[in-house]
């Protein structure tokens, strides 16, 4: 892997307000890989939007450095930032379109600022409207479009100057699920067909699951977790990440549900198998079936598709000789990375009446 396209090095950002200083980011170090789709997730106030404003030069860090494509932009003047901003496209939650202008003119706006020729402008706008599927809407106005169509105009405008980086700040949070899926598919096309590095800022784990290669989790201005999407989904280290994941993947049974499962499976041992690859889980169950001394039943759980495969949370009821059940439980926990060094398991709950 080469140098990151964006390198955030020990960055802190403090805003001075009437009520005193507010620390928006605190000693954040983070790399964004070129050519990838990366996501930054966090709740409101986590520091996501501040991070975006640092990347495109709208804010300067209080301390630390922001390096974009090998250049430290941390102390750039407005004039020095102009070339950078033509290389970084931006799309917004509320679209930020000019309602008095046609769709064509909205997309052409950054090209006019960059003083493209009329012929080049016309060719580029025509190309972009075709790319986002809005050729027939060129001479309409934003108030005649749906939310999804408005966001497609915003995407076309963001791509106008042929940027190599696209920042999407909560770009789907105002859209319905079906429209969101269409916009996310378009972002994937931009990445795959145009080679644009896409950075998605979101509070929705479903967005991360759908398109991100990498994900970073912010909370209260701190970076609390970062890695490949598959790694973070399979092995969430922080409670914050686990809460985000709980919105899209089945949780382990709570006390009431667990009690019900115990009643329905008397004498069985219930084993929680968290965030495991579906294929590995299937192989483990197949192995248990071949051994034949332990019977099993999946009594709770869910599966989601993540970039590169499927992950699931499961609760399995095991029945059989106690020693064999203990070995089977340990085997299931091993595939989930949940076994402790002494060979015991830490997520086994007993449904026995003994």
Give, as one character, the DSSP assignment of residue 345. B
SS3 call for 147:
helix
Spatial separation of the C-alpha atoms in residues 268 and 318, rounded to whole Å: 5
Q: Quick one: pLDDT at residue 258? A: 82
pLDDT in tens, the chain (354 residues): 557 999 999 999 999 999 999 999 999 999 999 999 999 999 888 999 999 999 999 999 999 999 999 999 999 998 999 888 889 999 988 888 999 999 999 999 999 999 999 999 999 999 999 999 999 999 999 999 999 999 999 999 999 999 999 999 988 887 888 888 999 999 999 999 999 999 999 988 888 988 999 999 999 999 999 999 888 887 788 888 888 877 777 666 777 888 888 888 888 888 877 766 777 777 777 877 777 788 888 887 777 777 767 777 788 888 888 888 888 888 777 766 543 333 333 344 554 444
Q: Give the H or E element holding residue 263.
A: helix 255-264
Spatial separation of the C-alpha atoms in residues 222 and 208, rounded to whole Å: 19
All domains of the chain in start order, with CATH: 6-246 (3.40.50.300), 255-337 (3.30.70.260)
Spatial separation of the C-alpha atoms in residues 59 and 48, rounded to whole Å: 13
Q: Which residues contact 72 (CB under 8 A, 6 or more apart)?
A: 65, 66
Helix axes 103-113 and 118-131, enclosed angle (nearest 10) = 130
In angstroms and rounded to an integer, the radius of gyration of the C-alpha atoms of the chain is 25
Spatial separation of the C-alpha atoms in residues 222 and 126, rounded to whole Å: 43
Bridging pattern class, strands 197-202 and 37-41: parallel
How many other C-beta atoms are found inside a 10 Å radius of the C-beta of residue 115? 7
């Amino acid at each position: 892997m080469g140098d990151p396209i964006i390198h955030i090095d020990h960055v802190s950002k403090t805003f001075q307000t009437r009520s005193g200083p507010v620390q928006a980011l605190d000693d954040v170090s983070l790399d964004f890989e070129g050519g990838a789709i990366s996501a930054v997730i966090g709740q409101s106030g986590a520091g996501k939007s501040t991070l975006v404003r640092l990347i495109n030069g709208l804010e300067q860090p209080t301390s630390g450095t922001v390096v974009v494509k090998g250049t430290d932009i941390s102390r750039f003047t407005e004039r020095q930032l102009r070339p950078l901003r033509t290389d970084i496209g931006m799309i917004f939650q509320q679209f930020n379109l000019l309602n008095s202008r046609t769709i064509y003119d909205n997309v052409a706006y950054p090209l006019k600022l960059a003083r493209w020729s009329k012929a080049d402008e016309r060719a580029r706008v025509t190309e972009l409207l075709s790319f986002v599927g809005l050729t027939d809407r060129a001479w309409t106005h934003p108030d005649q479009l749906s939310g999804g169509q408005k966001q497609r105009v915003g995407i076309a405008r963001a791509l106008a100057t042929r940027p190599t980086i696209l920042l999407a700040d909560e770009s789907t949070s105002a859209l319905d699920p079906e429209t969101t899926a269409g916009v996310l598919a378009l972002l994937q096309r931009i990445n795959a067909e145009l080679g644009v590095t896409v950075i998605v800022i979101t509070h929705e784990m479903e967005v991360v699951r759908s398109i991100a290669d990498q994900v970073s989790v912010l909370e209260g201005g701190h970076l609390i977790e970062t890695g490949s999407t598959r790694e973070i989904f399979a092995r969430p280290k922080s409670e914050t990440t686990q809460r985000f994941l709980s919105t899209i993947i089945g949780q382990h049974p709570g006390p009431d549900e667990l009690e019900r499962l115990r009643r329905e499976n008397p004498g069985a041992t219930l084993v929680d198998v968290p965030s495991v690859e579906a294929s590995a889980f299937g192989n483990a169950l197949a192995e248990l079936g071949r051994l034949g001394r332990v019977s099993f039943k999946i009594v709770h759980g869910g599966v989601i598709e993540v970039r590169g495969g499927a992950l699931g949370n499961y609760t399995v009821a095991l029945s059989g000789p106690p020693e064999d059940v203990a070995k089977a439980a340990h085997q299931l926990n091993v595939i989930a990375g949940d076994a402790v060094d002494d060979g015991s398991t830490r997520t086994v709950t007993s449904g026995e009446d003994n």
